[in-house]
Amino acid sequence: MSYANYLAGDPVIVTAALTGGVHGKEANPNLPETPEEIGRAAAAVEEAGAAVVHVHARTENGERSFETERFQAIDDAIRERTDDLIIQHSTGGTAAPATDRHLPLRTDPPPEMASLDMGPLNRYDHLTSENTRAMVDSLHEEMRERGIKPELEVFNDGHRNEVYGLLDRRDLAEPVYATLIFGPGTLTRPTPQNFRNAIEDLPDGVLFNTLGFGRHQLPFATMGILFGGHVRVGLEDNVYYRRGELAESNAQLVRRVVRLADELQRPVATPSEAREILGLH
């Protein structure tokens, strides 16, 4: 994927990351946490132009949950309120047993997509998200068995190496889809040059999704659109609309990136078009 894809007018898939698993309403009171809130947020982002919703589950008190039942309740709420959205579950997490990381894959029906972290990363001053190769392979195997498309989450340059390694070890259904993540800490440093390096260093044929944390969400979404990739926005990654102004909703962030794609003359993919692009059947 490249600037040529932009010039060709290939559709851009917009993913909305609705809630995340770290910050909650203390960071932005508009962030959805309950299944009902997440279902309403999904309906709003579908109307705004998103094709995919990236989903984390929460307990009743707002803390991260891996329980299948919590994901099931969220999926039911989303399907009740939306027409055709692609649901993507998160399997990432910190200080969770490997067995728990599989639980989001076991809803009925399973999600069409699920995230697959490509390696370890530091969180705050004392936590590390452990993603050993054995864990990655185990999660991928269950995704393959259940017909779930993996979304490879690439947090830094080393994780791009891990994408090559995973492709050597495992038979991934084409097209392979990777999210390139830019921001502080363990993430790739958010500079335009690093963005160019990242997209040029992906294995041939890999489609890329663009994720910038915090204030980097908007400029990296812009670069993702211009270089023929896809984009992810939402309150999981950025709770502000602009400096000092909290976002009103996930839909507000989606509407902005859809307007941006329209101004740049790149069509926004519908859910059915996104399924064709991603090879979801």
One-letter amino acid at 267 equals P
CA separation for the pair 258, 77 (Å, rounded): 24
**The pLDDT value given to residue 1:** 66
pTM: 0.96
- Mean pLDDT in residue range 27-53: 98
**CB–CB of 128/122 below 8 Å?**
yes
pLDDT of residue 93: 82
Query: What is the C-alpha to C-alpha distance for residues 211 and 219, in angstroms, rounded to an integer?
Result: 10
Tell me 188's DSSP state.
Answer: B
Could you give the C-alpha distances from 99 to 90, 93, 109, 192, 261, in angstroms and in order? 14, 12, 20, 38, 40
d(CA 258, CA 219): 14
User: 277 pLDDT exceeds 90?
Assistant: yes
> Residue 130's pLDDT is what?
87
The tokens of 264 are what? Answer: 């740049």
- CB-neighbour burial class of residue 184 (10 A; exposed 0-12, middle 13-18, buried 19+): exposed
Higher pLDDT, 98 or 125: 98
Residue 281 confidence (pLDDT) above 80: no
Give CA–CA dist 279/175, Å, rounded: 7
What confidence tens digit (pLDDT) does each residue in 158-178 have? 999 999 999 999 999 999 999
First to last CA, the chain: 22
Question: Do 174 and 279 touch, CB atoms closer than 8 A?
Answer: yes
Q: What is the CA radius of gyration of the chain?
A: 17
Domain ranges of the chain: 3-278
Collapsing DSSP states into helix, strand and coil, what is residue 38? helix
Collapse the DSSP code of 57 into the 3-class scheme (helix H, G, I; strand E, B; otherwise coil) and give the result.
strand
Fold of 3-278: TIM Barrel (3.20.20)
